[in-house]
Amino acid sequence: MIILVALVLIGVAVGVGVAVGTKKHGGSSTSLAAESATAGLSNNPSLSFTGTPTSSIQSSSSTSSPTSTSLSVLSAVYGASDVTDTAKSILPQKENIFIPTEPTLPFPDSWFGYRKCLALLLRYGSVDNQDLRTFIACEGTGNYTLVPGNVSLSPNTEATTNLGPSTSTFHIISVIWGPTEIRDSNIYQKLFDCASKSQAVSFSNEFFGQDTWNGTAKSAAVFYTTDNFSTVKNIFGREGQNASFSLL
């Protein structure tokens, strides 16, 4: 009888332990956010990439009907591959988005042996063209928790700009070179010119005007829309590769 009671108690204890552990994993974002904020890339201004081909993949911007307080992934590039579908399926939408980079990021390694970075285009809320954000994190830089709410609450996250020229059928949303978002209207202009002349973009330090990750092979990601933000497309590639915008 005593043994039975003891077994039941152990069972309950284990159950509680599991429940607490699970909850903590998904929910203890405050300390992680604080930690990742300091583990960010602000001290490491140089990260980079090289590019290959270049598929341009179109990702729908609405999977799980976002609400005005949803934080949603619209498009994702890891290294030089599109991981939008994986990101949407494994990262919680609407709630905090937890992104570990240690020991690895939760995406397939399509560029073995290179230190890769993740670029996310996010939207807070449900209005197509409002409150878009870029998040960038590279392997081994800590864990990050992105929270629905003011952009300043999420580490490594910046509101997108409207730096470049645009038309009703072509708008560059965000430009990432290695570990850094490029916020230079000259580069937006160059990208716009490539699109309007149907020229390939050449992913290089020369094109982006700087080496954002000294001596390291980088990748690029450019997020854009051709339908007034209803859907988001991207081009990407490794340093040295080229890619062309898809204007259809």
If one asks whether residue 152 binds ligand NAG (CB under 6 A), the answer comes out as: yes
If one asks whether residue 143 binds ligand NAG (CB under 6 A), the answer comes out as: yes
Distance of CA 214 to the CA centre of its chain: 21
If one asks whether residue 28 binds ligand NAG (CB under 6 A), the answer comes out as: no
Options 4-12, 13-21, 156-164, 194-202: segment touching ligand NAG (CB under 6 A)? 194-202
Options 58-66, 116-124, 155-163, 195-203: segment touching ligand NAG (CB under 6 A)? 195-203
Distance of CA 124 to the CA centre of its chain: 14
Options 6-14, 87-95, 132-140, 196-204: segment touching ligand NAG (CB under 6 A)? 196-204
Say how far apart CA 108 and CA 94 lie, in whole Å: 24
Angle in degrees, CA 155, 228, 220, rounded to 5: 45
If one asks whether residue 43 binds ligand NAG (CB under 6 A), the answer comes out as: no
Say how far apart CA 41 and CA 20 lie, in whole Å: 32
If one asks whether residue 44 binds ligand NAG (CB under 6 A), the answer comes out as: no
The CB-of-5 to ligand NAG minimum distance in angstroms stands at 36
If one asks whether residue 128 binds ligand NAG (CB under 6 A), the answer comes out as: yes
Residues 65-124 binding ligand NAG (CB under 6 A) are 100, 102
Cβ proximity to ligand NAG: between 162 and 228 the closer is 228
Question: Is the dihedral angle over the CA atoms 79, 84, 85, 89 positive or is it negative?
Answer: positive
Q: Per-residue b/e over 142-159, b at no fewer than 16 CB within 10 Å?
A: bbbbbbbeebeebbbbee
The CB-of-230 to ligand NAG minimum distance in angstroms stands at 8
Q: Tell me the HSE value of 98 on the side-chain side, using a 13 A CA sphere.
A: 12
If one asks whether residue 139 binds ligand NAG (CB under 6 A), the answer comes out as: no
If one asks whether residue 199 binds ligand NAG (CB under 6 A), the answer comes out as: yes
The CB-of-13 to ligand NAG minimum distance in angstroms stands at 24
If one asks whether residue 214 binds ligand NAG (CB under 6 A), the answer comes out as: yes
Radius of gyration of the chain (CA): 20
If one asks whether residue 129 binds ligand NAG (CB under 6 A), the answer comes out as: yes
Please say whether the beta carbons of 145 and 168 come within 8 A: no
If one asks whether residue 242 binds ligand NAG (CB under 6 A), the answer comes out as: yes
Say how far apart CA 48 and CA 205 lie, in whole Å: 9
If one asks whether residue 193 binds ligand NAG (CB under 6 A), the answer comes out as: no
Give all strands of the β-sheet with 132-138 in edge-to-edge order: 81-82, 71-78, 117-124, 132-138, 157-159
For 129, the token pair is: 């063209």
For 109, the token pair is: 């390694």
What residues make contact with ligand NAG under the rule CB under 6 A?
Answer: 100, 102, 128-129, 142-143, 150, 152, 168, 199-200, 202, 214-215, 228, 242
